[in-house]
Amino acid sequence: MLFSSIPFLFYFLPAVLLVYYIAPGKFKNAVLLFFSLFFYFWGEPKYTLLMLTSITISYAAGLLIERFRGTRYARVFLWIGVGAGLLLLGFFKYADFMIANLNGIFGISIPLLRIALPIGISFYTFQSISYVIDVYRGDTEAQRNYIDLATYVALFPQLIAGPIVRYTDVAAELKQRSHTAELFSSGAFRFTVGLAKKILIANPLGELCDIFRESNEKSVLFFWIYAIAFCLHIYFDFSGYSDMAIGLGRIFGFRFIENFNYPFISTSVTEFWRRWHMSLGSWFRDYVYIPMGGNRVSTPRWLFNLFVVWMLTGLWHGADWNFVLWGLYFAFFLIIEKLWIGKILKKLPRVLSRVYLLFIMIISFVIFNANGLGGIAGDVGGLFGAGGIPLVTTETLYYLRSYAVLLIAAIIGSTPVVKTAVSKITPKITNVVIAPVMLVLLVLCTAYLVDGSFNPFLYFRF
């Protein structure tokens, strides 16, 4: 079930809000768990049991680690809890990828399993793993209430596309949380803004990208329009979903971490990854990079650590070599910024360092969205006229005129310009305007959903 769908907006969400706020405090987590399982069952009925299995393993591992803390058995149960999660993720997400590569390397013909990827498995697996590790480290006590732990992992606002919430960040709120009109209204507004970003900006940009793919009259300009449109599409698609998740969290009394902070205004790749998908970046930093030694090791070992982390970051996004190359592409620029050009970027005028970042980022997402390794050369080459394609065509100019307003609006919306302007308005005016703005956005989004059919969500495949 998509957040940006009629069933969710007008049936599921009102039902869960009604039951949740009627239920006594001690039953609120049970209500959320019930509706979260229903939410997941709606889209993945056969894999709901898989998620419950992952939760149960983490629950048992946490209790056993605490029971045997200080002994070698605690480490055994740590590896069981972490290993089970990675095994499930590896089997369902990467089995066919590994089989295909074995077939190619050794010239054999092992049949592909063709297993459907369970929605959100990358997100809820990482949350379960972080919980088990945090219990082992002593950063939190093991959760003895199964319903509370299951609510944390399966909580529908962040279940299928994050942000990746740490158990330590919401442990207190799972036990007791406050519900205020101010928190509810701010959550509702944040959700509505995220919904508008997804439906009114990301979806049309996605349509433009599809038009480009289907076009037989590509040009250099059309390749650049596509590249910019896809970057904006994935940003508004994913950040819009994160906004909706954070907003829903507030409505139910949870304060989820931010996941995006205007990444396109960055002046380096290093800064970009402090602003883009922040919950994933911090997860790899705290549970992979630092335990491997981080940068407090010899230079060769540090390079190896970066190589591993960014290869895994790429693989996390998808089981294909273009995702691995995408991750290593960023690793390369992070290394050269750290060793050589980082100081130069800081001395450059900000406009030049931003042009540097935007160029690298645009190329990166062309690699990201390519059809495997074979499609990268064609897509990246097209940006520079490879294959003798024309600079511009009549079709390109037609679509540029058709989508110019949307592209300009998306570019402005990806910067803090609007937020800065709103912050300068007095609170009294802001409070008067918020309700009508929310209503208008909701009406526009509903009209789009009723009339349109293009409503994918890119990160569902991760």
Pick the catalytic residue from 179, 233, 277, 317. 317
Does residue 363 contact residue 380 with C-beta atoms inside 8 Å? yes
CA proximity to 267, closest of 356, 330, 203, 193: 356
H helices of 23-71, in order, are 28-43, 48-67
Is the preceding peptide bond at 163 cis, omega within 30 degrees of 0? yes
Listed in sequence order, the DSSP H helices in 107-219 are 121-137, 146-154, 156-159, 167-175, 181-196, 203-214
Q: Is 179 a catalytic residue?
A: no
DSSP per-residue string spanning 295-310 = TSS-HHHHHHHHHHHH
Query: Which CA distances in Å does 435 have to 134, 255, 370?
Result: 41, 22, 41
Alpha carbon of residue 417 to chain centroid: 23
Please check whether residue 239 is in contact with residue 196, taking contact to mean a CB–CB distance below 8 angstroms: no
3-state secondary structure of 417: helix
DSSP 27: G
Question: Distance from CA of residue 394 to its chain's centroid?
Answer: 36
Q: Please give the DSSP secondary-structure letter assigned to residue 116.
A: P
- Token look-up 């993945």 returns 44
Name 178's Cβ contacts closer than 8 Å, sequence gap at least 6. Answer: 253
Indicate the length of the chain as a whole number.
462
- Residue in this structure with the two tokens 């793993």, named with its chain if needed: 129
The answer to whether 368 touches 326, Cβ cutoff 8 Å, is yes
Alpha-carbon distance of 62 to 73, in angstroms, equals 12
Query: What residues act catalytically?
Result: 317
